[in-house]
Amino acid sequence: MDKHIIFEDEQIRAIFLKGSSDELIFSFGDLITRAKGLSINAEKSLHKHDFNVIGIMPKLKSWFPESSMQQMFVEIQELITPFKTRIGYGGSMGGYAAIKYSNLLDLKRVVSLVPQYSINPEDVEDPRYNMFFHAELNANMQVRPQDVSAEREYIVVYDPYCTEDRAQYLKLEQVVPKIQTLNLPFTGHDAIAVLASSELLHDFLMHEFDESYFYKKIRQVKKSSKFYYRKVIENLLPRHRNALGSILINNDLQLDNQFFDSKLKQNLLRELLSNKQVSQQDLLKLGIQVNLPQENRSHLLDCFGHGLVFNVISQKIESYAAGAIALNHKFLIPIFAKGSGLVQINLNDERYVVAMNDRQVMKLFKEQEPLTAGMHPIVIKKYSDFYLLSYKQLNLSTNEFGSQDFIEDTSETAQFVTQPELP
């Protein structure tokens, strides 16, 4: 890889990466990708497409002071003159610089992700960056009409729901001519990380601007970006609680256990437990692993694979599919088996015995409560391969529709097997 430093002062370092393209890309670093050796912002993606690149990397959090940029421009004139097509790319502080110095560098196109208009608190109140403003170093730092031109193409990507970035965008919109905007909702200030893709970057730099085309490409990148879902979940939780369930259902996420910080993980769990039936699969998608204590009881299933329950509405023992039980868990109380004994259920943190009379009227009795006249408890009998639920000499039998009856034989419909407790 052929690259070397072509300019350096106290504020910035410019590195030339030689490629084979007719175009010259100016790639501006940001607060995170500051000058470090010969590293260039988005270097891997740019080198993949063999672009000629000048990486302008900030050494300090100083927002590319005009004095440094002017001096750099003088010193690199001979190198850049042969390149008639010049394109600027950057995010945040780098996105600001790509717009601010578009006239100076004679850029044909500028691709700017979540840029600033200024960090001067007198221009825009932005508590994220106002602290880095130095009046002497950053004099006249706002993007001015003389910095930009209608002859150039400006593409800005940002989240319109991010209050600080929207304030910066609205200022830019007033001064930048023919600004072409792509919205990336609910991602906050992290568009650079969300849209990390060499193919998308190539299209941003080279493809004719077509809003529908770019939104299609952005959707494709977002679908494969775990970082995107983290930002969306983080930003949606306070506003749209039901969205989390939709994200889990519609996307095959497999995140690692370090993906969310502890605070966000706690908020995620609270929302999940408050708004939906949580399954272990949901937790695994979010990178949350939990070791459940071993359940020594097992849910009884009939020969149709349906779970045996006590329906508190009909006051009957019936069988239902697992999904129906999960959706109606307040009314369909699973019947478990540990061995031979009485049929019992847990309801409102209390244990009840299921009893019946000769007219097959069932009733619940608290564990220590006496039975009324004519009522007899239903008994579970454990055999080597199955269980029976019996009333006197009769055995409970279910059909494919979940209804029950008591019969005298032990046919398959009267035999129940077990599985671990339903999620």
CB 59 within 8 A of CB 35: yes
| Structure-block tokens of residue 228 | 């995107």
Residues forming CATH 2.80.10.50 domain(s) in the chain: 298-420
* Sign, CA torsion 110/113/119/122: positive
Nearest-Å Rg of the Cα atoms of the chain is: 33
CA distance 337 to 305: 16
- Looking at 3.30.70.420, 3.90.1150.10, 3.40.50.2300, 2.80.10.50, the CATH number of the domain 298-420 comes to 2.80.10.50
CA distance 3 to 1: 6
Tens-digit pLDDT profile for the chain (423 aa)?
Answer: 899 999 999 999 999 999 999 999 999 999 998 999 999 999 999 999 999 999 999 999 999 999 999 999 999 999 999 999 999 999 999 999 999 999 999 999 999 999 999 999 999 999 999 999 999 999 999 999 999 999 999 999 999 999 999 999 999 999 999 899 999 998 889 888 889 888 999 999 999 999 999 999 999 998 777 777 777 777 766 566 566 656 666 666 666 666 666 676 666 676 666 665 556 666 776 666 665 444 446 899 999 999 999 999 989 999 999 888 888 888 899 999 888 999 999 988 889 999 999 999 999 999 889 999 999 999 999 999 999 999 999 999 999 988 899 999 989 999 999 875 444
| Residues near 135 by beta carbon (within 8 Å), at least 6 away in sequence | none
Q: Which CATH fold topology does 3-229 show?
A: Rossmann fold (3.40.50)
* Side chain identity at residue 123, one-letter code: D
Q: What is the DSSP letter of 416?
A: B
Residues forming CATH 3.40.50.1820 domain(s) in the chain: 3-229
pTM score = 0.64
